[in-house]
Amino acid sequence: QEIIDSIEEVYFSSDSFDTVQYELEKLPPDLNLLELEEYRDKLKRQQAAVSKRVADLILEKQPSYVKELERVTSLQTNLQLAAVICTNARRQLRSAKEGFTEASLGLLANQRRRQLLTGLLKSLRTIKPLQRTDVRLSEMLEEEDYSGAIQLCLECQKAASTFKHYNCISELNSKLQDTLEQIEEQLDVALSKTCKHFDVSHYTKVQLAYKLLGKTQTAMDQLHMHFTQAIHNTVFQVVLGYVELCAGNADTKFQKMPYKDLCTHITTDSYIPCLTDLCKALWEVMLSYHLTMQWHDEHYKEEETTPGPDNNNNHESTVGRSYVKKKLEHGLTRIWQDVQLKVKAYLLGTDVSNFKYDDFIVVLDVISRLMQVGEEFCGSKSELLQESIKRQSVNYFKNYHRTRLEELRMFLENETWELCPVKSNFSIAQLHEFRFMGQCRSPSVSPSRQPESTEPVELCLFEQYLQGGNPFEMQIDNKEEETEDVLASNGYESDELEKSVYQDYDSDSDVPEELKQDYVDEQTGDGPVKSVSRETLRSRKRSDYNAPILTNTTLNVIRLVGKYMQMMNILKPIAFDVIHCVSQLFDYYLYAVYTFFGRNDMYESSGLGLISSRLRTTLSRIQESLIDMEAGGENTGPHASPEERKEKVPSPHLSQLVILMSSDTLYGLAERVVATESLVFLAEQFEFLQPHLDTTMPSAKKPFLQQFYSQTVSTASELRKPIYWIVAAKAIDYEQMLLLMAGVKWDIKEIMSQHNVYVDVLLKEFEKFNQRLGDVSKIVRIPLPVSNVLWEHCIRLANRTLVEGYANVKKCSNEGRALMQLDFQQFLMKLEKLTDLRPIPDKEFVETYIKAYYLTENDMEQFIKNHREYSMKQLTNLVNVCLGSHINKKARQKLLAAIDDIDRPKR
C-alpha cells in the first residue's frame, strides 16, 4: 500500500498521460548509471505493486463478470432471433406491397390524377377562348355590334371571376375591365355620330348597348353634351371653311380664333352661301334631335304595350323613361338657344347695310325659314334671332331707304313726265316684287316659299324633309325658278316699246332686268315678240287707250313699295319702320308733283278754294318732316340738327326738259296729266294694298296707317284742282273778254234780242280750248275726272270774269240787266254743247249777281250779308249801279257800311 501511495500523483491524472515521455524528461543532464538503475528498480517495484493490486481486484470481481457475460450471451441470442423475425416480416411486407398496395391503390391514385387533369383541361379550354376574347371584341366593335360586345364582355367577366385563382386570369380580368371602358368610349363616339346624321338602326344599337350597361340616363346626358358640341363644331367648320376660302393664302391663324371673331371675317360675297350652309348644317342637327325624340316616343310606346314580368324592373324603367323624356324636352329649348346664339353671332358679325336688296331679302328669307323651323322645333318665338335680324334690318333699311329716297329724287328730277306704256289690264300683282302676295295670302304666315298644303302646319317642315332634302336648299332653288319664270312670261311687245320704256330711265344697277318685266303680257305668257306689224301696233294702241297713266318713276315707286312690303312681310318687328318709309315714298312723290305743277301764289286770290285745308295740312307736314329745306337753299325756320337732316331729302327740281309755259302744249297739259294721274294711280295702288299693310302693322301703330290713308293718300286726287287750274287760267284769254265787256253799253232803253260779241269771242276761246284738249288727248289719254276738272275750272273762271265784267259797269238799266241775262243764257246754251259737265259750275254765281240788281234796300242788305263769295268791289258796284233807280243815297251809305263791316275781319 505504501509503494502504491508513493506513486506520484501525476500518474493518476488521465488516461492520455504518456508515462515514458514523463520519465525521460525527468532524467538529469548528467546520467549516473547507479542512480538510474536504482530509480528503475523503484519504478519496477511500483509497477509490481499496482499489478498485484489489479489482479486482486479482478479476482474479487470474477463472479460479477461471469454473470454479466452470461447476460451478454443471452442478449446476443435474442438479437439474432429478432433479426430473423425482422427478415421474415420484411419479406412478407414486400409480398404484400407487390400483391396489394402497388396494384390496387396505384390504380386509384392514377384515377384521381386523371380526374384532376380532366378538370384542369376543362378550365384550360375555358381559359383559351377567354384569352382570345379581345380579338373577337374588337371585331364586334368594328361591326358596330355594341350590345353583343358588351354581353360577351360581361360573360367573360363572370367566367373570369370563377377562375380568378389562376394567375393568367387575374390579369385577364383587369384587361376585360379596360376593354369594357374602351367599349364605353366607342359607344360615346357612336352616340355622337347620331347628332349629325340620325340612323334608326345605329341609334337602336347604341341605346340597347347603354341599356345593357345600365347607363341609359348617363347616355342621355352625354347625348345632350354631344349635340351642344355638334352645333359648335358644325358652325365653326362651316364658317372656317368660307373664311379660309376667301382669305386665300393669308397666314392668319383662323383655327385658333373664337367663333364670334371668325364671323367678322366673312366677306360680303360669301355671306349668303355661308349663311345658307350654316342653316343647312344646323337643320341636320335639329332634324337628328327631332328624330331622336321620335325614336324614344315610339320605343316607349312599344315598351308600354309589352310590359315585362318583373314589376320592380318596370318601376325602374318608368323612372328612367320619365327622366329621358324630361331631359329630351328640356334639351329642345337648349339646343334651339344654342342654334340662335350661333346664328345671331353670325348675323351681327357683318354689316349688311350695303347689301343689294335681293341679297338682303334672301338673308331675311333664310332667317324667316329658320325661325319657322324654331317654331316647329320647340314652339319658340326666336327672340334672339328676331332681335338680331331686327337690328340688322333697321340698320339696313334706314340705309336702303335713304338711298332709295335720293334715287327717287334723281328719278323725279330727270323725269320728263311722259307716259310709260303698259297694257290696259296692267295690275301691280303682275310685277315681280308683288309675287309674294300671291304666295302668301295671309301676311301672318311666313312668306318663305313652301308648297301650299292642306295639312296642319305643325311639324310640317320636319315631316316634309324627313326622307331627305333641306328646307334651306328648297328656298334658294325656288327663288331661281321663279325669277326665270317671270322673265319668260313678261316681255316687250316690240323694240319700239322697249325703247320707249327705256327712255329717261336713269341708270340703276338693277333697272334693265326689272324693266323687262314692266310690260306684262298676262294673257299669252309668251316671251318677248321682236317683230310686230304696224296694224297690230295700232290696234294695240287703241286697246291700250284705257291703260293706266303712269310714268317710269311711278313704276319705280310701286316696285319699291313691293320690295318694302316683301321685307315687312318677312320681318314683322320692323313693320312700322317699313310702313313709315313706304308712306315717305308716297309723300315725296306727292310733294314733288305738287311742287312741279301745282305751286302757285294766285290760288288764294282766286277765291276758288283750290287747296283744301286737309291738303294744305298734308303738304306742310311733308315739308316739315321730309324735305330738307336747307339743302335747297331755302332757309325757312330754325336750322335742323344733322341727325334730323339725315332723315330728310332735298326738295326736287323739275327737269329742264319739261316746259310748262308754252301755249302750244296747253301749258304742259300732257305732262301735268301724266304727273297728276300717275299720282292718283299710285294712290289707288296704295288703297289696294291697305288691307295687306293693315294686317302686318302692329296694332299699337295702326292709327298712323289710318291717318296716312285718310289725310295723305286720299288727298292725291285733290291735287288735280290746283294743278289743272293753272292750265285753265292761261288757256282762255279772260283779260280780252273784260276789255270787250268794258266796251258794251248797258244803260240801254229797249230790250235787245241779239247777244253781245264778247260771248261769241268767249265761246270761240272755249272751242279752241276743246280742240287743243283733243290734240293733247292724242298724246296722252285724258281721263274723265281730269277733263271735268279742266272744264269746271275754265267755266268757273269765265263766270267769275263775267261777274267781274258786270261789276265794272258804271251805268246800267233794267234792259241792260236783261241783256246781261241774255248774254249769259246764250253762253250757257252754247257751252252745254261743248261739254258734258252737268250742272254748269258757278251758274248761280252769275245769275244771282245779275238778279241782285232788282233787289230792294232791305233785301240788298240781307244779300250782302249772305253772299260773301262776291268781292267788296263787286258788292260796292252793285250798290252804286242801283243808286238812283231804286236805292237812295242814304240807303247807299248804309249798304256800303255793311260791306265795309264784312270786309273788316278779312283785314
Claim to verify: residue 423 and residue 550 sit in the same structural domain: yes
Give me the pLDDT at residue 79, please.
94
322-349 mean pLDDT: 86
184-206 mean pLDDT: 80
Least confident piece of the model among 546-550, 838-842, 864-868: 546-550
Give me the pLDDT at residue 144, please.
65
Q: What average pLDDT does the structure give for the chain?
A: 79
Confidence of residue 357 (pLDDT cuts 50, 70, 90): confident
Residue 110 has pLDDT above 50, yes or no: yes
Is the pLDDT higher at 34 or at 606? 34
Query: CB-based burial of residue 121 (10 Å sphere; 0-12 exposed, 13-18 middle, 19+ buried)?
Result: exposed
Q: What is the pLDDT of residues 151-162, one digit of tens each?
A: 777 777 676 676
Claim to verify: residue 761 and residue 807 sit in the same structural domain: yes
Claim to verify: residue 754 and residue 707 sit in the same structural domain: no
State how far the alpha carbon of 753 is from the alpha carbons of 820, 822, 824, in Å.
11, 8, 13
Angle in degrees, 0-180, between the axes of helices 311-349 and 268-305, rounded to the nearest 10? 170
Is the pLDDT higher at 516 or at 256? 256
Residues 6+ apart with CB under 8 A from 407: 508, 556
Of 685, 719, 753, which residue is a domain's last? 719
Asked if the structure places residue 480 within a domain, the reply is no
Claim to verify: residue 679 and residue 800 sit in the same structural domain: no
For residues 766 and 773, what is the distance between their CA atoms, to the nearest angstrom?
10
Confidence of residue 31 (pLDDT cuts 50, 70, 90): confident
CA-nearest of 756, 782, 755, 757 to 770 is 782
Residue owning grid cell 264778247:
758
Asked if residue 137 lies in contact with residue 179, where contact means CB atoms within 8 angstroms, the answer is yes
Claim to verify: residue 819 and residue 715 sit in the same structural domain: no
Claim to verify: residue 818 and residue 793 sit in the same structural domain: yes
Q: What is the pLDDT of residues 13-27, one digit of tens each?
A: 877 888 888 888 888
Asked if the structure places residue 302 within a domain, the reply is no
Please spell the DSSP secondary structure of 359-418, one letter per residue.
HHHHHHHHHHHHHHHHHHHH----HHHHHHHHHHHHHHHHHHHHHHHHHHHHHHHH----
Give me the pLDDT at residue 73, please.
93
Give me the pLDDT at residue 316, please.
63
Asked if the structure places residue 280 within a domain, the reply is no
DSSP-derived pairing of the beta strands 627-628 and 649-650: parallel
CA-nearest of 387, 421, 755, 446 to 555 is 421
Give me the pLDDT at residue 764, please.
92
Give me the pLDDT at residue 483, please.
37
Confidence of residue 131 (pLDDT cuts 50, 70, 90): low
CA-nearest of 485, 510, 471 to 358 is 510
Least confident piece of the model among 210-214, 488-492, 681-685, 818-822: 488-492
Q: What is the pLDDT of residues 62-109, one digit of tens each?
A: 898 889 999 999 999 999 999 999 999 999 998 888 877 777 878 888
Claim to verify: residue 674 and residue 813 sit in the same structural domain: no
Asked if residue 537 lies in contact with residue 332, where contact means CB atoms within 8 angstroms, the answer is no
Neighbours of 6 (CB within 10 A): 11
For residues 183 and 153, what is the distance between their CA atoms, to the nearest angstrom?
9
Give me the pLDDT at residue 458, please.
46
Please spell the DSSP secondary structure of 4-19, one letter per residue.
HHHS-GGGGS-TT--H
Claim to verify: residue 895 and residue 833 sit in the same structural domain: no
Residue 524 has pLDDT above 50, yes or no: no
Give me the pLDDT at residue 440, please.
53
Of 130, 164, 179, which residue is a domain's last? 130
What values do phi and psi take at 535, rounded to 5? -60, -45
Least confident piece of the model among 245-249, 334-338, 791-795: 245-249
Asked if the structure places residue 439 within a domain, the reply is no
Asked if the structure places residue 863 within a domain, the reply is yes
Q: What is the pLDDT of residues 45-73, one digit of tens each?
A: 988 999 998 998 898 888 988 899 999 99
Q: What is the pLDDT of residues 266-319, one digit of tens each?
A: 888 888 889 899 898 888 888 888 888 888 888 877 777 765 555 555 666 777
**What is the DSSP code (8-state) at residue 887?**
B
Confidence of residue 474 (pLDDT cuts 50, 70, 90): low
Confidence of residue 523 (pLDDT cuts 50, 70, 90): very low
CA-nearest of 736, 720, 738 to 768 is 736
Asked if residue 547 lies in contact with residue 424, where contact means CB atoms within 8 angstroms, the answer is yes
For residues 786 and 766, what is the distance between their CA atoms, to the nearest angstrom?
16
Claim to verify: residue 579 and residue 706 sit in the same structural domain: yes
Residue 658 has pLDDT above 50, yes or no: yes
Half-sphere exposure of residue 315: CA atoms within 13 angstroms, side-chain side: 3
Asked if the structure places residue 352 within a domain, the reply is no
Claim to verify: residue 424 and residue 554 sit in the same structural domain: yes
Half-sphere exposure of residue 747: CA atoms within 13 angstroms, side-chain side: 8
Confidence of residue 683 (pLDDT cuts 50, 70, 90): very high
Least confident piece of the model among 389-393, 445-449, 686-690: 445-449
Residue 504 has pLDDT above 50, yes or no: no
Asked if residue 242 lies in contact with residue 349, where contact means CB atoms within 8 angstroms, the answer is no
Asked if residue 633 lies in contact with residue 654, where contact means CB atoms within 8 angstroms, the answer is no
Claim to verify: residue 555 and residue 669 sit in the same structural domain: yes
Asked if the structure places residue 707 within a domain, the reply is yes
Residue 660 has pLDDT above 80, yes or no: no
Claim to verify: residue 699 and residue 814 sit in the same structural domain: no
Asked if residue 540 lies in contact with residue 534, where contact means CB atoms within 8 angstroms, the answer is no
Residue 823: all three cell numbers together: 248774254
Query: 248 — alpha (psi -120 to 50), left (phi > 0) or beta?
Result: left
Least confident piece of the model among 167-181, 277-291, 450-464, 891-905: 450-464
Give me the pLDDT at residue 805, please.
92
Residues 6+ apart with CB under 8 A from 307: 314
554-567 mean pLDDT: 89
Neighbours of 380 (CB within 10 A): 19
Give me the pLDDT at residue 252, please.
67
Asked if the structure places residue 482 within a domain, the reply is no
488-496 mean pLDDT: 37
State the total domains in the chain: 4
CA-nearest of 692, 716, 717, 694 to 705 is 694
Give me the pLDDT at residue 83, please.
94
Residue 347 has pLDDT above 60, yes or no: yes
0.75 surpassed by pTM: no
Is the pLDDT higher at 614 or at 181? 614
CA-nearest of 251, 203, 196 to 227 is 196
Asked if residue 166 lies in contact with residue 123, where contact means CB atoms within 8 angstroms, the answer is yes
Residue 506 has pLDDT above 70, yes or no: no
Of 114, 130, 146, which residue is a domain's last? 130
> What percent of the chain clears pLDDT 70, i.e. is strictly above it?
80
875-891 mean pLDDT: 81
Residues 6+ apart with CB under 8 A from 717: 680, 683, 785
Asked if residue 581 lies in contact with residue 408, where contact means CB atoms within 8 angstroms, the answer is no
Domain range enclosing 52: 1-130
For residues 789 and 698, what is the distance between their CA atoms, to the nearest angstrom?
39
Confidence of residue 498 (pLDDT cuts 50, 70, 90): very low
Give me the pLDDT at residue 378, please.
84
- The CA R_g of the chain, rounded to the nearest whole Å, is 63
736-765 mean pLDDT: 89
Give me the pLDDT at residue 85, please.
95
751-756 mean pLDDT: 87
Residues 6+ apart with CB under 8 A from 639: 630
